[in-house]
Amino acid sequence: MWGMIIVPMQTEIIGGDEIFRNKSTCEWQMARIGKMINRKYAREVIILTGGYSSSEKEISLLSSETVCQVCQNILPTTEIVLSRDKLPEEAISKDAIIFPVAHGEFMEDGGLQAAMEAEDLTFIGSDSKASALCMNKSLTKQIVSEAGIPVIDGIKFVPANVPSSHLISNTLGHNLFIKPNAKGSSIGTHVISSEMELGLTIHRLNENMEYIAERRIDGIDLTVAILDGKALEIVEILPKYGFLDYRNKYTPGYSSKICPARIPEDTKNMVKRYCEMAFKCCGCRDWARVDFLFQKNTGKVFFLEINTIPGMTQNSFYPMSASAAGIDLPALISALINLAADRKAKSNSMDGRG
């Protein structure tokens, strides 16, 4: 007997921060989303959050607060705030489904996932290989580009061995973004408008980090939740000031979010198809959020990046995308737990432990 999925009410707030438009409940994967938790393989949930060295620790804690409130109504739940970049002993439980709700270094770059794999733990989300790949923006762009997905031109460099600002400008133009190759939430991103500004910015960069110089294209920011390989609804994001940086992403009132996005239907279908392709070719698992840019005057779309542990705060894009697709937060969390529980059941069956 499948559980009920709540379809969001049709609401439109003119001039407000968020506009929701009702969509019919997703018909695909009803068995997975609506089914009861298999308590033989999912007896408790352990949420890992925080992050000792992560620059995104604050967002991780806000995300885990939301997830924890829901999980407590589904299964016995323990929340562990990581105090160092290491899998804590109390998280090593064969009976638990581990739910990483943490962003940034160690949490999303494959470090935590590798530690859980070494202990043969069952966890929600992509494995260590896919996590490491998607944290590397330039490598991810290369992989998805080879799959036929359009990307924005860019150059990866390290400040100690950077091409001249003149060469970069001649190749990509004067309007650029300079961003770290392996950080999330747009942290450390610089907006460049001239060759002189580019030279000054490069001079101030951290010599121990990799960066990307990327052509700056005017367009509409789009983001899409992926659940078990399927694209949900597209969220259109309108930053209040400048580009979609950390402040505009996470400060209430600093960006407007419209879902479903106000783009042509054929563009929606194309973006969703590209998102599912990117998720698959990068080896992602369970869930992710894929970001695109839509250039309205040309109708072109460009892949930006994949986030393998999407934010789950009250202001986050992932739950909004799911909600507009007819999947409320309890159903979403249950679906993620079931994906991991199914994987555990299959693994035990292959090992003869089923």
Most confident of 4-18, 49-63, 68-82: 68-82
Range of the domain at 188: 153-215
Same domain, 259 and 278: yes
* 262 domain residue, yes or no: yes
Residue 143 pLDDT > 60: yes
* 147 domain residue, yes or no: no
* 4 domain residue, yes or no: no
Residue 282 pLDDT > 50: yes
Q: How does pLDDT run across 230-257, given as a tens digit for each residue?
A: 999 999 998 776 555 556 555 666 668 9
Same domain, 176 and 251: no
Look up tokens 């407000």; give the residue. 16
Could you give the dihedral angle defined by the CA atoms of residues 186, 192, 195 and 200, in that order, rounded to the nearest 10 degrees? -70
Which element (helix H / strand E) includes 301?
strand 300-307
Q: How does pLDDT run across 149-200, given as a tens digit for each residue?
A: 999 999 999 988 888 888 999 999 999 999 999 875 466 788 898 999 998 9
* 267 domain residue, yes or no: yes
Same domain, 186 and 237: no
The two three-digit tokens of residue 104, written as one number: 């940034």
Q: Is 21 helix (H, G, I), strand (E, B) or coil?
A: coil
Q: Which of 176, 193, 215 is the last residue of a domain?
A: 215
Look up tokens 């299959």; give the residue. 346
- For residues 211 and 178, the answer to whether their CB atoms sit within 8 Å is yes
Write the DSSP assignment of 125-138 as a string of letters.
Answer: S--HHHHHHHH-HH
Name the band, by pLDDT with cuts 50, 70 and 90, for residue 318.
very high
- Dist. CA 334–CA 340, nearest whole Å: 10
- Dist. CA 39–CA 253, nearest whole Å: 41
Question: Which of 301, 318, 300 has the alpha carbon at shortest distance from 309?
Answer: 318
Lowest-pLDDT range of 120-129, 251-260, 279-288, 293-302? 251-260
* 142 domain residue, yes or no: no
Residue 103 pLDDT > 80: yes
Q: What is the pLDDT of residue 53?
A: 58
* 122 domain residue, yes or no: yes
Most confident of 75-89, 130-144, 165-179, 244-258: 130-144
